[in-house]
């Protein structure tokens, strides 16, 4: 309404915050959709306002990597308990909750004392699925279920919408695994990958801050948070990619997540090499 300073405020309607609450906003002058002389028959070049001046974006599929299990596809229909898709463990299944209220079921033969991990990847791969997974015995009893996995405590309001569970089978027999959307949503975009396997011990590291300036001599603390997966309980060794290159790592104590990086006094300039980790269960 008048010349001056204005503020643009963006927030969640419920005052929440999660790392998957991402958005893109374009702030520009409100250009008319098109302007042309009344007597000019054209043609004209038209650039929509929402794309004018924006740099091109190269799409990325993300999550590249390899795994020990080759994925297979879900086979419909598999909604009813009697129509559950038979599978042999270990396996990775690609499926989708194709419509609201859809339920995908998989049947396998288990042994007494067998440990089975059910790990769903959906939200981490860009799917809108809010997964819910259950393991059910032959009598219809739910042995284990999970909606949201427990994530790392990184000081953020995060929402780990991909379910994960580990269950020890009480007896030999036939078991079913159900995958649904916790909110009973569904569409062709609600895709997922389900891993059914014994535990595959592994770990991930989160380093904060992701980049540091290390002057020669003084030590600079960095926080390293370890997320242990599938029962990984072994020691984890930290190092530098390609050798120390004049830097050193030193943990304050065995249980402390703070380590210090120290630059050599004889080294000036250059870059701190990437921190690497190794370990065995």
- 18 lies in some domain: no
CA 231 to each of CA 180, 196, 227, 237: distance values in angstroms, whole numbers, following the listed order: 26, 15, 10, 17
d(CA 176, CA 81): 8
- 152 lies in some domain: yes
> Are the C-beta atoms of 127 and 20 separated by less than 8 Å?
no
Residues 190 and 94 in one domain: yes
Question: Is pLDDT above 70 for 244?
Answer: no
pTM over 0.85: no
Q: In what order do the strands lie in the sheet with 202-208?
A: 202-208, 219-229, 258-263, 247-251
Percent of the chain predicted with pLDDT > 70:
69
- 137 lies in some domain: yes
Positive or negative, the Cα torsion across 218, 223, 228, 233?
A: positive
> Are the C-beta atoms of 167 and 230 separated by less than 8 Å?
no
Q: How many domains does the chain have?
A: 2
Higher pLDDT, 227 or 55: 227
Residues 126 and 239 in one domain: no
- 24 lies in some domain: no
Radius of gyration of the chain from its Cα atoms, rounded to whole angstroms: 26
> Are the C-beta atoms of 55 and 34 separated by less than 8 Å?
no
- 49 lies in some domain: no
Residues 107 and 173 in one domain: yes
CATH number of the structural domain spanning residue 135:
2.60.120.380
Q: Phi and psi at residue 3, in whole multiples of 5°? A: -70, 140
- 43 lies in some domain: no
Q: Which domain holds residue 215?
A: 202-279
Q: What is the pLDDT of residue 95?
A: 93
- 12 lies in some domain: no
Q: What is the pLDDT of residue 52?
A: 55
Residues 160 and 228 in one domain: no
Question: Is pLDDT above 80 for 127?
Answer: yes
């Amino acid at each position: 309404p008048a010349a001056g300073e204005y503020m643009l405020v963006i927030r969640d309607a419920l005052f929440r915050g999660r790392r998957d609450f991402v958005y893109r906003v374009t702030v520009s002058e409100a250009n008319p959709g098109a302007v042309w002389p009344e007597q000019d028959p054209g043609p004209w070049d038209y650039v929509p306002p929402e794309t004018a001046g924006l740099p091109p974006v190269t799409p990325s599929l993300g999550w590249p990597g390899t795994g020990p299990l080759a994925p297979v596809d879900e086979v419909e229909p598999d909604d009813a308990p009697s129509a559950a898709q038979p599978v042999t463990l270990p396996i990775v299944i690609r499926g989708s909750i194709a419509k609201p209220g859809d339920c995908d079921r998989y049947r396998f033969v288990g042994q007494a004392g067998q440990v089975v991990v059910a790990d769903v990847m959906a939200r981490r791969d860009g799917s809108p699925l809010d997964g819910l997974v259950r393991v059910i015995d032959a009598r219809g009893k739910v042995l284990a279920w999970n909606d949201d996995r427990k994530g790392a405590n990184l000081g953020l309001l995060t929402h780990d919408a991909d379910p994960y569970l580990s269950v020890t089978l009480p007896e030999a027999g036939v078991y079913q695994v159900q995958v649904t959307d916790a909110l009973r949503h569904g569409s062709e975009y609600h895709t997922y990958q389900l891993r059914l396997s014994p535990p595959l011990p592994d770990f991930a590291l989160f380093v904060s801050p992701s980049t540091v300036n290390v002057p020669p001599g003084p030590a600079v603390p960095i926080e390293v948070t370890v997320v242990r997966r599938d029962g990984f309980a072994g020691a984890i060794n930290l190092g530098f990619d390609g050798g120390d290159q004049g830097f050193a790592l030193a943990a304050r104590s065995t249980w402390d997540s703070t380590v210090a990086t120290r630059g050599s006094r004889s080294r000036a300039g250059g870059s701190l090499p990437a921190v690497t980790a190794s370990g065995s269960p």
